[in-house]
């Protein structure tokens, strides 16, 4: 029983972390061009890493 | 939006940069925004579809001198370029257009910005609702699983935590529904958002009260899940809508070309089309499109009016005749007097017709709206009757209201709200694979109810580019090509295309509006209009050319506008599927009847002006026909927007694409597929609505008798939503053969 006292807050905290990352991604425009993003991974960079 | 509003959004017009006067993109310098040393330009690229296009465009522009950023948005076609130094804006545009893509200045309008914000807000709301729904479900599952074993205190704590998580979901994520519900309630009407909002608010409120009193059931999970499911539908709708670039937006791109005005002291300056007044002298360069109506001041001018009238042959004007906005100058630079302001010209006329059409179309009632109109009163009276029934049966007030609310929750139109958007998105994706680009979701419903198809000729059925007819003999072609290879006139190009590569006569003179002449082997050869050569003096539309070699009798070269391959087959398929077809063209009677006969279409109208076309559609509408308009030119734009549904080829100008519901690539061969898929989509949607109705028939008795516990509500809601989504996804298996 005492376990859920810290397990629930931890679960919620991790959930919030994910939500925060999602909000950041939306705000920084990462969902503005889904077609472009899907295509950009196919472009080969000429320069060697 | 009127065109004067459109122009108000364009910026910094006063520039009259000299360096890029000669470029067709010279006017772009007026759109450059300067901040410190950096210059910024937003362009609209059309035709870019894949990673290859993206890389080519970004790399070529990025390699230009001083360019620090070049980023193309494939979803919207917006291309942002930032650079420093003296690079003229026209060079950027020329680089892109040199790669074979269409480019114009993007005039960012308010509507654009509003849509972008709306989509972002929905996405954020969806994220918050997803977070809440998932985490509350985590707690709810333990409550359900622990039924009978979990102590009432633990349960109360679980409910309280769920309530705290649900609060932001209701307050923040529920706003789109509350706002929409409130705005229609104020006007005394109801839409789907009214029962949704009511269910969300009541579910939350009742659960809060139950939690405080230590009650058995709390519906926080239902409230959060409801919001999440419904937002998915809402977001999909918004995305489809935003893809449909607004007509006003593209019209802005078209009329935002700068105009060259000759001042009283003879200087040419680039000005905003909005400041051109009647009486101004305008210089129309070769290949430039007229933005305002004007009267020709020079002796002769040859125009491509195919966008305005649908006429495929170049039109020869003499001094004083009217040049309509939208016409392209084929001869050398000419001067003309402006007859009207940009806001009064034909282009603006057509834009007003578009506005009217769009308003008409938004009044179209979607199938989903009709379903909701039946559904809302039914569900609300069911909930009210439940409450009254239980009160009369002697249940407590608290118990009665809890059962009534659970009825509202379980009947909330989740499935109804998902039934249409999911089907639209799947069908739009399928059409995209087939080369058809759908602009609005509800267009599919309109395609499905079409019974007559009205086709434009030039550019839709026929190539719209003159082709040398087969009757001409080889020698004439190769001789004519000697002269024609040096000219950019469409008829000359047709000759050189037919002849292939070969020699060019030296010192070819191009006489604008007349033809070409050169001395070959010491003899004067002339290739040009009949009027100039001395045959057929009455002709104003130069459909034929004549070749005169020295003193020989002139030989005629005939041009024809060929049909796009596959057109005949497509028409036959459409007729077989039970559609009536009709040709409505601005071209001359002779040519239209020729094409109609070739295709076996019995109904046709020729020489129709843009107004005639719009009027013809009005007549058909009054006769009760549901018309599908297919056309590409500026002259079709009004008709496209007035039709019940409309499609346009990918080769059409922006404004026509904006006015129509779908854009296809290739010939009209894709039309039968489009219509078939539209009908399939409609039947899938009807299946979904039937399913939603059946679901309610089962769910309402369960809820009314008081058996809709949170667990039952959660299962029922998820089951119905998943079922309609899966049914809609069946559309993805659609293939042309079926």
With beta carbons less than 8 A apart as the criterion, state whether B123 and A28 touch.
no
Which residues of B sit within 8 Å Cβ distance of A? 50-51, 54-55, 72-76, 116, 120, 123-124, 127-128, 131, 134-135, 138-139, 154, 161, 165
Pairs across A and B, CB distance < 8 A: 51
Radius of gyration in angstroms for the set of CA atoms belonging to chain B, rounded to a whole number: 32
Collapsing DSSP to helix, strand or coil, B57 comes out as: helix
Q: Which residues of A touch B123 (CB under 8 A)?
A: 26, 31
What's the Cα-to-Cα distance from A18 to each of B56, B225, B699, rounded to whole Å? 36, 18, 35
pLDDT 10s digits, B553-573:
788 887 777 788 888 888 888
pLDDT at residue B243, rounded to an integer: 61
pLDDT 10s digits, B379-401:
888 889 999 999 999 888 888 88
Tokens of B6: 């459109």
Q: Is A24 on the interface with B (CB under 8 A)?
A: no
Tokens of B578: 């039970």
Instruction: Give me the sign of the Cα torsion angle B50, B52, B56, B58.
Output: positive
| Residues sharing a CB contact under 8 Å with residue B661, sequence separation 6 or more, in sequence order | B438, B439, B440, B443, B446, B447, B645, B646, B647
Collapsing DSSP to helix, strand or coil, B68 comes out as: strand
Kindly identify which residue of chain A lies nearest to residue B242, measuring between CA atoms. Answer: A32
Give the full edge-to-edge strand order of the sheet including B604-605. Answer: B436-438, B662-664, B645-649, B627-630, B452-455, B580-584, B604-605
Q: Which residues of A touch B76 (CB under 8 A)?
A: 33
Confidence of residue B613 (pLDDT cuts 50, 70, 90): confident
pLDDT 10s digits, B690-713:
888 888 888 888 888 888 888 888
Burial of B105 (0-12, 13-18, 19+ CB in 10 A): buried
Interface contact A16-B120, CB threshold 8 A: no
**Domains of chain B, CATH where assigned:** 1-108 (3.30.70.100), 113-243+364-422+680-733 (no CATH), 467-560 (3.40.1110.10)
Among B165, B168, B170, B162, which residue's Cα sits nearest to residue B201?
A: B170
**Residue of B456, B636, B654, B661 marked active site:** B456
Burial of B433 (0-12, 13-18, 19+ CB in 10 A): exposed
Query: Which three-class secondary structure string do you get for B116-167?
Result: HHHHHHHHHHHHHHHHHHHHHHHHHHHHHHCCCCCCHHHHHHHHHHHHHHHH
Instruction: Give me the sign of the Cα torsion angle B619, B621, B625, B627.
Output: positive
Tokens of B568: 């005949």
pLDDT value at B682 more than 50 = yes
Q: Measure the CA–CA gap between A17 and B539, rounded to whole angstroms.
A: 76
With beta carbons less than 8 A apart as the criterion, state whether B640 and B467 touch.
no
pLDDT at residue B621, rounded to an integer: 87
Tokens of B335: 């001067």
Collapsing DSSP to helix, strand or coil, B608 comes out as: coil
Burial of B151 (0-12, 13-18, 19+ CB in 10 A): exposed
| Residues sharing a CB contact under 8 Å with residue B205, sequence separation 6 or more, in sequence order | none
What's the Cα-to-Cα distance from B366 to each of B236, B361, B660, rounded to whole Å? 16, 11, 18
Among B344, B354, B324, which residue's Cα sits nearest to residue B250?
A: B354
Q: Measure the CA–CA gap between B510 and B617, rounded to whole angstroms.
A: 43
- Strand B322-323 and strand B281-284: pairing? unpaired
What's the Cα-to-Cα distance from B542 to each of B289, B335, B342, B591, rounded to whole Å? 20, 22, 29, 14
pLDDT 10s digits, B414-430:
777 788 888 887 887 77
Q: Is B456 a catalytic residue?
A: yes
Kindly identify which residue of chain B lies nearest to residue A36, measuring between CA atoms. Answer: B74
Q: What is the mean pLDDT of residues A32-37?
A: 81
pLDDT 10s digits, B34-70:
778 888 888 878 777 788 888 888 889 988 888 888 8
ipTM value of the model?
0.88
Tokens of B262: 């000759």
Q: Which residues of B touch A16 (CB under 8 A)?
A: 131
pLDDT value at B129 more than 70 = yes
What's the Cα-to-Cα distance from B230 to each of A39, B75, B90, B286, rounded to whole Å? 29, 24, 47, 55
Confidence of residue B19 (pLDDT cuts 50, 70, 90): very low
Collapsing DSSP to helix, strand or coil, B529 comes out as: coil
Query: Rounded to 10 degrees, what is the CA torsion of B736, B670, B366, B174?
Result: 80
pLDDT value at B309 more than 70 = no
pLDDT at residue B241, rounded to an integer: 64
Collapsing DSSP to helix, strand or coil, B316 comes out as: strand
Residues in chain A: 49
């Amino acid at each position: 029983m005492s376990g859920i006292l810290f397990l629930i807050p931890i679960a919620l905290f991790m959930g919030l972390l994910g939500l925060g990352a999602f909000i950041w991604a939306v705000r920084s425009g990462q969902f503005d061009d889904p077609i472009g993003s899907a295509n950009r991974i196919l472009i080969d960079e000429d320069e060697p890493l | 939006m009127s065109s004067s509003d459109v122009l108000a959004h364009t910026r910094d017009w006063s520039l009259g940069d000299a360096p890029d006067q000669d470029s067709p993109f010279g006017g772009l310098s007026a759109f450059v925004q300067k901040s410190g040393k950096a210059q910024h330009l937003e362009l609209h690229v059309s035709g870019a579809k894949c990673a290859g296009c993206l890389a080519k465009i970004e790399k070529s522009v990025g390699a230009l001198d001083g360019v620090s950023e070049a980023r193309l948005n494939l979803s919207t076609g917006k291309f942002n370029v930032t650079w420093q130094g003296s690079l003229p804006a026209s060079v950027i545009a020329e680089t892109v257009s040199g790669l074979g893509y269409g480019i114009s200045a993007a005039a960012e309008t308010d509507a654009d910005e509003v849509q972008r914000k709306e989509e972002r807000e929905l996405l954020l709301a969806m994220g918050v609702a997803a977070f809440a729904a998932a985490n509350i479900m985590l707690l709810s599952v333990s409550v359900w699983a622990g039924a009978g074993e979990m102590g009432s205190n633990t349960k109360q704590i679980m409910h309280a935590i769920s309530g705290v998580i649900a609060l932001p979901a209701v307050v923040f994520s529920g706003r789109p529904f509350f706002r929409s519900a409130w705005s229609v309630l104020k006007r005394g009407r109801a839409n789907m958002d009214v029962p949704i909002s009511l269910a969300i608010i009541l579910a939350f409120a009742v659960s809060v009260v139950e939690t405080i009193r230590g009650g058995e059931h709390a519906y926080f999970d239902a409230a959060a899940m409801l919001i999440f499911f419904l937002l998915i539908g809402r977001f999909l709708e918004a995305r489809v809508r935003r893809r449909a670039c607004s007509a006003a937006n593209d019209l802005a791109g078209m009329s935002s070309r700068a105009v060259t005005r000759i001042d009283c002291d003879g200087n040419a300056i680039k000005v905003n089309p909005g400041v051109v007044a009647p009486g101004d002298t305008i210089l129309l360069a070769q290949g430039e499109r007229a933005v305002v109506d004007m009267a020709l001041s020079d002796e002769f001018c040859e125009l491509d009016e195919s966008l305005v009238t649908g006429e495929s042959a170049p039109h020869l004007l003499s001094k004083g005749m009217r040049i309509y906005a939208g016409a392209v100058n084929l001869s050398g630079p000419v001067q003309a007097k402006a007859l009207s302001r940009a806001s009064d010209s034909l282009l603006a006329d057509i834009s007003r017709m578009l506005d009217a059409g769009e308003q008409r179309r938004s009044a179209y009632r979607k199938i989903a709206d009709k379903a909701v109109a039946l559904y809302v009163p039914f569900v609300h009276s069911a909930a009210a009757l439940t409450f009254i029934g239980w009160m009369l049966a002697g249940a407590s007030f608290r118990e009665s209201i809890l059962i009534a609310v659970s009825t509202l929750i379980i009947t909330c139109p989740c499935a109804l709200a998902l039934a249409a958007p999911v089907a639209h998105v799947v069908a739009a994706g399928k059409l995209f694979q087939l080369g058809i680009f759908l602009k609005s979701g509800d267009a599919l419903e309109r395609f499905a109810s079409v019974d007559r198809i009205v086709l434009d000729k030039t550019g839709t059925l026929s190539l719209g580019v003159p082709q040398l007819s087969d009757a001409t003999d080889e020698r004439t072609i190769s001789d004519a090509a000697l002269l024609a290879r040096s000219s950019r006139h469409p008829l000359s190009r047709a000759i050189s295309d037919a002849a292939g590569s070969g020699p060019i006569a030296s010192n070819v003179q191009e006489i604008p509006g007349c033809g070409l002449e050169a001395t070959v082997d010491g003899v004067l050869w002339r290739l040009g209009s009949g009027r100039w050569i001395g045959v057929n003096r009455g002709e104003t539309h130069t459909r034929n050319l004549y070749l005169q070699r020295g003193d020989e009798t002139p030989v005629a070269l005939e041009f024809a506008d060929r049909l796009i391959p596959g057109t005949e087959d497509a028409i036959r398929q459409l007729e077989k599927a039970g559609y009536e077809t009709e040709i409505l063209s601005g071209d001359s009677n002779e040519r239209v009847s020729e094409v109609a006969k070739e295709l076996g279409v019995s109904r046709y109208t020729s020489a129709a002006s843009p107004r005639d076309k719009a009027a013809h559609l009005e007549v058909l509408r009054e006769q009760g026909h549901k018309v599908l308009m297919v056309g590409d030119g500026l002259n079709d734009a009004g008709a496209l927007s007035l039709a019940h549904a409309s499609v346009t080829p990918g080769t059409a100008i922006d404004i026509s694409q904006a006015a129509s519901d779908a854009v296809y690539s290739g010939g009209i061969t894709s039309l039968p597929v489009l219509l078939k898929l539209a009908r399939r989509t409609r039947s899938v949607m009807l299946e979904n609505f039937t399913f939603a109705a059946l679901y309610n028939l089962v769910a309402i008795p369960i809820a009314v008798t008081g058996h809709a516990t949170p667990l039952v509500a959660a299962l029922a809601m998820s089951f119905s939503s998943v079922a309609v989504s899966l049914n809609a996804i069946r559309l993805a298996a659609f293939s042309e053969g079926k």
